[in-house]
Amino acid sequence: MLHGGYDGAALLSDGYVLDLGLGGASSASATATAATWSGMGSVSGGPDDAPAPRSHHTLTSVGHAVVVLGGAGALGPLSLSATVLENPAVTAGLLQQHQLLEVG
């Protein structure tokens, strides 16, 4: 996953995810395809839910989420800034697994 950066003129807030083309299967018969980058699209929720445009920050994977930490924004350092980005499909899958465990 890539997020933000600087293009020489402005700070960026777009994001991309690399699909390695492994098909999600772990068997030896799975056919691999070429790796492709996809845009993340817009962040659901209001404008305050999306990370501010920035550079020099980190993305840290925590379970099914990614945390955007720190960096430099238009007005200077964002040292106290942290935003959690969740993957709705993964979150829904985890919720479904949790519900199945509660029933069983």
SS (H, E, C) the chain: CEEEEECCCCEEEEEEEEECCCCCCCCCCCCCCCCEEEECCCCCCCHHHCCCCCECCEEEEECCEEEEECCEECCEECCCCEEEEECHHHHHHHHHHHHHHHHC
Position 30 pLDDT exceeds 80? no
pLDDT tens-digit profile of 39-97? 776 555 555 667 889 999 998 888 777 888 999 999 999 888 888 877 665 555 555 55
